[in-house]
Chain A
Amino acid sequence: EAGVAQSPRYKIIEKRQSVAFWCNPISGHATLYWYQQILGQGPKLLIQFQNNGVVDDSQLPKDRFSAERLKGVDSTLKIQPAKLEDSAVYLCASSEVTFGQFFGPGTRLTVL
Chain B
Amino acid sequence: GQQLNQSPQSMFIQEGEDVSMNCTSSSIFNTWLWYKQDPGEGPVLLIALYKAGELTSNGRLTAQFGITRKDSFLNISASIPSDVGIYFCAGQMGGGSQGNLIFGKGTKLSVKP
Interface size in chain A (residues, C-beta < 8 A):
26
- Separation of A107 and B4 alpha carbons in the complex (Å): 25
Does A41 lie within 8 Å of B43, measured CB to CB?
no
Interface size in chain B (residues, C-beta < 8 A):
23
Does A91 lie within 8 Å of B43, measured CB to CB?
yes
Please tell me if A31 contacts chain B, counting CB pairs below 8 Å.
Answer: yes
The distance from the CB of B110 to the nearest CB of chain A, in whole angstroms, is 15
Which residues in B have their C-beta under 8 angstroms from that of A41?
103, 105-106
Q: CB within 8 A of B103: which of A44, A100, A102?
A: A44
Given contacts A41-B105, A44-B103, contact A98 B43 (CB under 8 A): no
Which residues in B have their C-beta under 8 angstroms from that of A21?
none
Which residues in B have their C-beta under 8 angstroms from that of A108?
40
Given contacts A42-B105, A43-B103, contact A103 B97 (CB under 8 A): no
Please tell me if B44 contacts chain A, counting CB pairs below 8 Å.
Answer: yes
Please tell me if A14 contacts chain B, counting CB pairs below 8 Å.
Answer: no
Does A43 lie within 8 Å of B43, measured CB to CB?
yes
The B85-103 residues at the A interface (CB cut-off 8 A) are 88, 90, 96-101, 103
Given contacts A41-B105, A42-B88, A42-B103, contact A100 B44 (CB under 8 A): no
Which residues in A have their C-beta under 8 angstroms from that of B103?
41-44
Given contacts A42-B106, A100-B33, contact A48 B43 (CB under 8 A): no
- Separation of A26 and B41 alpha carbons in the complex (Å): 17
Given contacts A42-B88, A42-B90, contact A101 B101 (CB under 8 A): yes
Does A103 lie within 8 Å of B90, measured CB to CB?
no
The distance from the CB of A7 to the nearest CB of chain B, in whole angstroms, is 13
Please tell me if B48 contacts chain A, counting CB pairs below 8 Å.
Answer: yes
- Separation of A95 and B42 alpha carbons in the complex (Å): 15
> Which A positions have Cβ atoms within 8 angstroms of B?
4, 31, 33, 40-45, 48, 56, 91, 93, 95-106, 108
